[in-house]
Amino acid sequence: MKLFVLLGLLWSSLSYGEQIGYDHVPRGAEGKFKINFLNDYVKTMRIGMDFAVVFQNLDHGNRDLNLPSLNAGFQNATGNLNLDTELIDGMTAYIELYLSSEHHTEMYMKEGYLLVERLPMFDLPWLNSVMNYTSVKAGQMEVNFGDWHFRRSDNADVSRNPLIGNAIIDTNTTETGVELMFDIGDLQLMVAASNGSIKEDFNAEHGLASYAKLAYDTNMGDMRLRLSGSYYQVDHGKNASSKSKTTLYSGNRSGSRYQTLLGASTDAGQVKPQISQDVKAYMLNLLWQYRGIEVFGLYENANDKAVDKNRDGTNRTTKTEEEWSQYLVDLKYNFTDNFYVAGRYNVAENKKAAGVASKEKVNRTQLGLGYHLTDSVLIKGEWIKQKYKDITSTSASTYCSTSEKNATSPNNCAVGAEFDGWSIEASVHF
C-alpha cells in the first residue's frame, strides 16, 4: 500500500517520454512515464508496470484416475514494477520487482543491475570508439542464455508472448554476474561469467558459471531474420557431497501460467529436469518476420553428469547422468495492428535418466489469439493440450515436485497423464 501511495504522490511530476530501445535494455524497462530529477545524482527515471490475471478452464487425468476434479476459475492476479534510472548519459541502473506472483504473494526484487553503454567521464577518444560497439551489464540479472527468455511471459509481463503458457521446460533464471556485449553491425557477441546459482554460495565445491551467445540479426526491407546460438556451463559436482546447484532449469520465480494440474500448484504443467551440478547446455533460436507473419524456433539440449538424486527425488550415494532436449515452434499472424492468431508446438524429451537411455516425452499444442484494446491493454485466449508419454512410476519428482505430489499415489501423478482446456488472460502493460 505504501508503494502505491508513493507512486500516487509522484504522479504529478511524471511527464510523457519516448519508449527506449531494446538492443541491450531488458524486457519491462520501456515505461513511458519518466521523472525528471532536480539533483545531480540521477538524470531521469522511467517507470513501467504490468498487471495480469488468467481465467482457466482446464481438466486433467492419468492412468490411475486418482487426480481431483478441477473447476474453472481465476488465478491469483500478478504484478511487476520496473524502474529504469538514467544516472548519466550511457549509464543506467535497472530494477525489476515482483509486486505479486504465484511463488511469492509478497513483493520482492527479481533483478537489480547496472548497464554501461558509454563512459563520458573519461572523455578518451579511443575509449569512446570502443564503447560505440560495447556494453557491460553487472549485478543480479536474468541470465542471457538463448532468446526464449526475451519471449516468455515473465510473471505479469506477458505482452511479448503471443500465447498464455510458456515452454514445457521454461529455461530462465537470475544470477549475479557480468555480461560483456559486442554489437558490430548485424553481429552480436556476448560473453559472461556469473555466480552459477540464484543466490550466494561459498561451499568449497561451488563453481562459477560461464556462458556466451552469438547472434546474427538483420533487416532486409519488410523482412527481419535473427539467428542465435548460446552455451552455458558450470561445474558444482567436484565431489560426491556437493550441495551447490544451478537453477537454470528451476529458477522460475513467477510460477506456471497454469495452476493445480497433476497435483501440482505453482509449477503445474512444467517439466523441471534434475540438471543442476555439472551442467553443459546449449540453445539455438530462429526469429523470422515478414510483414504480418512471425516464426520463432527453439532447440536446446542440456546434460548433467553429476546428478545426485534418483528419479523419485530421493538422494543417491553415487552420481549419475541425465540429459534432456527440447524443441519449440511458434507461428503468429497479425491480421491487423490490434488482432493476431498464434499457434505453438512444443516437445520435451528425456534422453538419458540415471545414466540409462530414456524415452520419456511430453508434447504440448497451443492455439490462441490476441486483441490489443489499446497499446497497453491486451486480451488473449488459448486452447492447450499436453500429453505425457512413456513416463515411469519412479520419475514423479521431474513432473510433480516433492511437496506437490498427489497424496494417494505420489509416484504415478504423470503416468499416462494429459490435460487440456482453455484460458483467457487480460493484461495491462505501461
DSSP per-residue codes, 78-106: EEEEEEEEEEETTEEEEEEEEEE-SS-SS
pLDDT in the model for residue 8 = 39
pLDDT in the model for residue 20 = 29
- Residue at 146: amino acid letter: G
pLDDT in the model for residue 229 = 97
136's grid cell: 557491460
pLDDT in the model for residue 402 = 43
State which H helix or E strand residue 288 sits in.
strand 278-290
Angle at 124 between CA 177 and CA 22, to 5 degrees: 45
In CATH, 2-429 is 2.40.160.10: yes
pLDDT in the model for residue 311 = 62
pLDDT in the model for residue 16 = 28
Residue 55's DSSP bridge partners are: 74, 424
- The ranges assigned to domains in the chain are 2-429
For 333, residues 6+ apart whose C-beta sits below 8 A from its C-beta are 292, 293, 294, 340, 341, 342
189's grid cell: 557477441
Distance between CA atoms of 277 and 199, rounded to whole angstroms? 15
Distance between CA atoms of 37 and 171, rounded to whole angstroms? 38
60's grid cell: 486433467
Residue 249's DSSP bridge partners are: none
Q: Closest by alpha carbon to 186, among 226, 149, 147?
A: 226
- Upper half-sphere CA count for residue 362 (Cβ side, 13 Å): 25
pTM listed for this prediction:
0.87
Taking the CB of residue 310, how many other CB atoms lie within 10 A of it? 16
C-alpha distances in angstroms, 170 versus 97, 254, 276? 20, 11, 14
State which H helix or E strand residue 156 sits in.
none
Distance between CA atoms of 168 and 213, rounded to whole angstroms? 22
Assess contact for 37 and 45: CB atoms under 8 A.
yes
91's grid cell: 549509464
C-alpha distances in angstroms, 233 versus 170, 304, 389? 18, 10, 29
Helix (H, G, I), strand (E, B) or coil at 362: strand
Distance between CA atoms of 200 and 195, rounded to whole angstroms? 7
Instruction: Specify the DSSP class assigned to residue 110.
Output: E
Residue 307 CA, distance from chain mean position: 23
Assess contact for 102 and 80: CB atoms under 8 A.
no
- Sort residue 92 into left (φ over 0), alpha (ψ -120 to 50) or beta: beta
pLDDT in the model for residue 3 = 41
Per-residue pLDDT tens digits of the chain, which is 430 residues long: 444 333 433 333 333 233 323 344 445 445 555 565 555 667 788 889 999 999 999 999 888 877 888 899 999 999 999 998 888 889 999 999 999 888 777 788 899 999 999 998 888 889 889 999 999 999 999 999 999 999 999 999 999 999 999 999 999 999 999 999 999 999 999 999 999 988 888 888 888 999 999 999 999 999 999 999 999 999 987 766 677 888 899 888 888 899 888 877 678 888 988 888 899 999 999 999 999 999 999 999 999 987 766 665 666 667 788 899 999 999 999 999 999 999 999 999 999 987 888 899 999 999 999 999 999 999 999 999 999 998 876 666 677 754 444 434 445 788 889 999 999 999 999 8
Distance between CA atoms of 264 and 388, rounded to whole angstroms? 15
